[in-house]
Each structure stands twice: as C-alpha cells, then as structure tokens.
Amino acid sequence: MEVLNQLKLEFLSKPENIGLARLTVASFAAQLDFTLSEIEELKVVVSEAVSNAVLHGYAHKEGMVRIEATLYPDKLELVVADQGQGIEDIDQAREPAYTTTPDRMGLGFTFIESFMDEVEIQSQPGQGTWIRMTKSPEGKEPEV
C-alpha cells in the first residue's frame, strides 16, 4: 500500500526522552485524520512502549530506543524496538496486571492492546524487544 510519510527516531534510553517520543509521534500521526481522543490514545501507547524499553529493556542502563512510524492512507504503523534484556514469556507479559517490577501496575501492554488495532510482539532474552502496532482513524478501517 502507498506510503504517505515515514519517520525514524532513535534516542538514548533516558526517561527524559519519553515525552519527546510521545509528542513527536503524536504530531506526526496528526497528518492522518485521527480524532483528538485517538491522538491522546496514541500518546499513551508511545509512552507505555518507550517506558517499557527504558525501564525494563535497558533497566536504567544506556542503550538506544528506535521508533519507526509509517503513515498509510488508512492507518499508522508504529514500531518500537530496543536491544535490551528481552522478555522471557511474551504471553505472560501481555496479561493484565502482570509485572516483574512490584511497584508497577502491569497495565502498559493492556493499554497498548486496547488502544491499537493490531499488536505484534517479538522478543529474545538478551537480544531485545520489537513491537509492531497499527491504528486506523475511526471509520477508516483498512481494506483486507
């Protein structure tokens, strides 16, 4: 399908960069006719995915977080990837309230799944984590 626009963003795994990623992706996504509340949902999704890369993937060590966003006529595709410690059991990590950090809620993936249309997660312990997500503006369901 026709690519309308593409964004690649790479930054060090510092918590300060979570807000940067969130605003950059939101203003990029606004080129498609998402509603304001869909843009708010996308901001939450970017924050959750990048927080996971920073806090869990690199666990406060330094590494690069990579974002790729692609606009198609009917959807946004978002990839968030890190080369951190990876996830042992992806199905378990996706369960609501599952967390490996006792003071957290374990709801990041739950928000991501509820706000995005498709969510695909690949991860290898010791290698990193790759998440691909798509979202279509309301009323613009993709052709199958």
Ligand X SMILES: Nc1ncnc2c1ncn2[C@@H]1O[C@H](COP(=O)(O)OP(=O)(O)OP(=O)(O)O)[C@@H](O)[C@H]1O
- Examine residue 67 and tell whether it contacts ligand X (CB under 6 A): no
What is each CA distance from 1 to 4, 28, 71, 130, 133, in whole angstroms? Answer: 9, 19, 10, 22, 16
Decide whether 17 or 52 has the Cβ nearer to Mg ion: 52
- Considering CB distances under 5 to 8 angstroms, the limit depending on partner class, which of ligand X, Mg ion, none binds residue 63? none
Q: Is 104 a catalytic residue?
A: yes
- Restricting to residues 2-41, name those near ligand X by CB under 6 A: none
Q: Which residue is nearest to ligand X (CB)?
A: 108
Chain residues that interact with Mg ion, rule: CB under 5 A: 52, 108
Residues known to be catalytic: 48, 52, 104
